[in-house]
Amino acid sequence: MEAKQQKARHRRRKVGLSIGIPVAVAAAAGMAYGTDLGVFGEDAQRSASAATVAPAWADDVADGFASVNSQGQNGTYGGRDGKTVTVKTLADLEKYATAPEPYVIVVAGTINMNPKGKEIKVASDKTIVGSGTSGQIVGGGFFLGQGVHNVIIRNLTIRDSYAGEWNDKDNDFDAIQMDGAHHVWIDHNDLRHMADGLIDSRKDTTNVTVSWNKLSDNNKTFGIGWTENTTADLTIHHNWFRETEQRNPSTDNVAHAHLYNNYLQDVPNTDITTSYGNYARGKTKMVLENSVFEGLKNPVTKDSTAAVVQRGNVFSGTSGRNESGGTAFDPKSFYKYTLDKAADVPALLKSGAGPRTSIGTTATASTKASAAATTLTVAKDGSGQYKSVQAAVNAVPANNTSRVVISIKPGTYRELVKVPRDKPHVTFQGTGASRKDTVIVFNNAAGTPKPDGSGNYGTSGSATVAVEADDFQARNLTIDNDFDEAKNQSLNGHQAVALRTAADKIFLDGVIVTGDQDTLLLDTQAKDKLGRVYVSNSYIVGNVDFIFGRASAVINKSVITLKKRWNGDSAGYVTAPSTAANRKGILIANSTVNGDVSASSFHLGRPWHAGGDAALDPQTTVRNTSLSSAIKSAPWTDMSGFSWKDDRFAEYKNTGPGSGSASGDRPQLSDAQAADQEIGDWLGDWKPSAS
């Protein structure tokens, strides 16, 4: 932005539970980051006899203990390095799941296990993922044996191996059983009504993360242990246990059991009564945080030999044992995580646990929005309704009240796109296997003359894509400004925006936004208007002030890639907030800042007092983020006569060679201050969910 323009007790249930509730993106899982922009997991070869496009989020990697480097395995990423195949039959599912090669296996229909209770023996390096809510395994499940590792099971419904006996001693028909496995991620599944466990993690199985699942209508729900050793590490977060009698979970001899943001619900006057909730047995050490227990008997139970540390949990209508005591461990010494507020957990999980509803997205529409959505298809080759993105936007009715999804087929769309204020609820959805397959690009700069002779575009007018309508979403595509500074040195004004937003509730998920100077302008409709932006699982590329504006913006679980300038120099600024005094500015959290630039050459930010307005109070907070050596040891700097020390710039628990300890040149938030600078504090009553 240099020379910125103006700038149980059980009786057989009669009615089954509802399924397929979509994801709340507030806790969307992490993505597979490369060390530079050119490294994307989804660019792995995707061809086989049954090959098809995998979900854009099929390359996500696990969080929690499944992300920890141990047992000779660095994190859990499943089959992302192999081919993607779609299966609709038991024979094909078993063929690829048991193969020695890595595979992403998309289950695109209901597969009935034969014989009933069959558990497919999954081999290492596999992702088994449902195609929307159509991926269902009925009457059986999966088995991960000794040494099996790097397995992801996501977005599936696994149900109905129940054999008529509630406390079944004869049939071991689990949904997912693990005996001696490691590095397993079980995420966004609907597991219910099985003859034995929904999840059994046994015989020293370790480095497991279980997240965003719906577990219901079952007796022995989630058992962990069956070992005398105390070596296992498990993370269990954002799961909805509803009408499950026991093992919720039962955690026996687990070295590190981290349970957070789970919702355990026993609904009154139903056929199942929960006998206990979270149980720490044997020598287990358990940390239990910000979970909600509703209507349960004995919500938290521990053996005398176990340790349970409770923090921030909510108990409503519970009775019986609620225990804690002993010394456990600090989960943050193993991995990063962010807690949701306990009060928000029931709503988050009711709207977010279980399978996502559509394939090819990093997250999916709510049931209501999806049912009401209109889809307009764009394809350069004429196979869609429109050949340009702008033509599809023009077709959206003014003042529309329901979601319009503009489905954009792979291709490069060289055009300017504007979503005007009177066209809210629009989604841009790239349909390629990679977010790099669908590209919207143009090359205007601030100094580029307008074709009508009315002057230059200016910084904000240079945007390739301009969004002025509320409730806009974009995913699985690239927005680029490829203005060539080297060839246009005589031009006065090299600011070249790829994406400008000037509205509220903007959700960018799984996108690339790339340019040089002033890549991403996050603005509001007016100085007194609120404009919230949530960016997740994305890449942002640039060099000078390339994340800037007055919006209240969150960049979460993303990669910020620093780029050399047109002449090869390494020098720049990541953020340039222009925040009003009573607003939140820019929050970068749980992300990575890197790039092929020189060490100590980039500032994290500087204060942009747009128009010289001294009343502004620019804010950037960078927290829980990995910083490369490119970041200066004094990461903030002044701008246009305004000192950064008079505004709001701070860090919290960043890591990497570019991080540093607190000093006068490097403010660090205290734990108490950081508690007031969480993602939820930026977004307020808005809970982003994909549509």
Catalytic residue list: 518, 545
| Dihedral of the alpha carbons of 358, 361, 364, 369, in degrees to the nearest 10 | -80
Residue located via tokens 């719906």: 214
478 CB-contact burial (10 Å; exposed 0-12 / middle 13-18 / buried 19+): buried
Could you give the CA distance from residue 248 to residue 245 in angstroms, rounded to a whole number?
8
CA 107, distance to chain mean position in Å, is 22
Backbone angles phi, psi at 343, to 5 degrees: -65, -25
Determine contact, residues 532/683, Cβ cutoff 8 Å: yes
> Which residue is associated with the tokens 């500015």?
585
**77: closest CA among 125, 146, 33, 124?**
125
- What 79-82 contacts at long range (C-beta under 8 Å, 24+ apart), as own/partner pairs, is 79/103, 79/104, 79/105, 79/125, 79/126, 79/127, 79/152, 80/32, 80/41, 80/42, 80/44, 80/104, 80/127, 81/41, 81/44, 81/125, 82/44, 82/45, 82/125
E strands in 356-484: 374-378, 404-408, 411-414, 417-419, 426-430, 438-442, 465-467, 473-475, 478-481
Distance CA 361, CA 132 (A): 10
Q: Are 415 and 386 in contact (CB under 8 A)?
A: no
CA distances for 531 relative to 316, 524, 551, 584, angstroms: 35, 5, 5, 10
Extract the tokens encoding 561. Answer: 């890639």
State the Cα–Cα distance between residues 214 and 356, nearest whole angstrom: 12
Q: Which two tokens stand for residue 157?
A: 């419904």
Taking Cα atoms as reference points, which of 128, 109, 691, 646 lies closest to residue 424?
A: 691
Residues found in the chain: 691
DSSP 47-79: -STTB-PPPGGGG----GGGGSEETTEES--TT
CA 43 – CA 40 distance, rounded (Å): 6
Contact 264, 278 (CB under 8 A): yes
- d(C-alpha 211, C-alpha 186), whole Å: 6
